[in-house]
Amino acid sequence: MFPSAITDFWLTPSPTSRFLCGDDTFGITADTALDEGERLTVLTTTDGRTRVRLTPAVAAALDLDGGQAVDETGFGRRLEVAGIALHGADHLFYFTDGARKALLGEPDDPSVRPLTAADAEAFARFEAEATEQDLDDAFVELDHWAVYGAFEDGRLVGAASTYPWGGAQLADLGVLTLPPHRGRGHARRLVRAISRHALTRGYEPQYRCQLDNHASVALAGSAGLTRFGTWDIVSPDSDG
């Protein structure tokens, strides 16, 4: 259903990992290759399976080195005792094999095109009209690996950007439409255009959004993406 680049990245154990405990529903793996910002991650796929990856240091802090069985409830208690908090999960969306084929078979909408350094002035005006919160949430930047813009009457009203993510053939993307121009299909066209760009260059588009961002979840569905699961990481403010 999902391309192997996606399932291999998320579900195939890495050479630097070591299984600690668990079963088919909940499992914990220590991985020496995790960086500090992702020293603890939790993936739950749509089939209800949860996979925890953590560094050996975090495993030791949670007393997981002994090989004893730990279920999801017990793991949560250990996090609490150790003072380790999670950031808050994101949905993960990708194009399935069938959706990729349909996407690659359609042209970009005329209102959408790639942005370059020559669009710096238009992009600056676009940013000035957006709220700081929207800019932070979308993380759309003109200097990202690829950037597309949506235009209305010659004015930039929406933008999407993407960049290689996680050292894999995944391209994480963000999209933002100025509030007065929402509900007109700009975001959907942007997501599909920049995703097509990524696919033709060997990358799988990755769309993430917070669980309570219902508008973003709806956009993912309208753009043809399918939910793969949820992913959470250790909070940057966590003491653990």
pLDDT in tens, 105-125: 999 999 999 999 999 999 999
Instruction: Tell me whether residue 238 is in a domain.
Output: no
Domain-embedded: residue 233:
no
The verdict on 146 and 165 lying in the same domain is yes
Q: Is residue 157 part of a domain?
A: yes
Q: pLDDT tens, 21-62?
A: 999 899 999 999 999 999 999 999 999 999 999 999 999 999
**Residue 127 sits in the same domain as residue 64:** no
Query: Same structural domain for residues 71 and 175?
Result: no
Instruction: Let me know whether 85 and 181 are in one domain.
Output: no
Q: Residue 182 domain-assigned?
A: yes
Specify the CATH number for the domain of residue 128: 3.40.630.30
Query: In DSSP terms, which residues pair with 114 in a beta bridge?
Result: 148
> Which range marks the domain in which residue 64 is found?
4-91
Do both 189 and 116 map to the same domain? yes
**Which one of 50, 72, 91 terminates a domain?**
91
* 67 plus 139 within the same structural domain: no
Hunting for tokens 């909408």 — which residue is that? 109
Task: Tell which of 91, 109, 125 closes a domain.
Answer: 91
* Interval 129-146: pLDDT, tens: 999 999 999 999 999 999
Residue 16 and residue 31 in one domain:
yes
Dump pLDDT digits (tens) for 170-188: 999 999 999 999 999 999 9
Asked whether residue 230 is domain-assigned, the answer is no
Taking Cα atoms as reference points, which of 33, 55, 54 lies closest to residue 43?
54
8 and 78 belong to one structural domain = yes
Same domain? 60 vs 104? no
104 and 188 together in one domain: yes
The string of DSSP letters for the chain reads ---HHHHHHHHSPPTTEEEEEE-SSEEEEEETT--GGGSEEEEEETTS-EEEEE-HHHHHHTT-TT-----HHHHHHHHHHHT--B---EEEEE--HHHHHHHHTSPPPTTEEE--GGGHHHHHHHHHHS-HHHHHHH---TTSSEEEEEEETTEEEEEEEEEEETTTTEEEEEEEE-GGGTTSSHHHHHHHHHHHHHHHTT-EEEEEEETT-HHHHHHHHHTT-EEEEEEEEB-TT---
Q: Do 154 and 118 belong to one domain?
A: yes
Statement: the pTM of the whole predicted model exceeds 0.85: yes
Total number of domains in the chain: 2
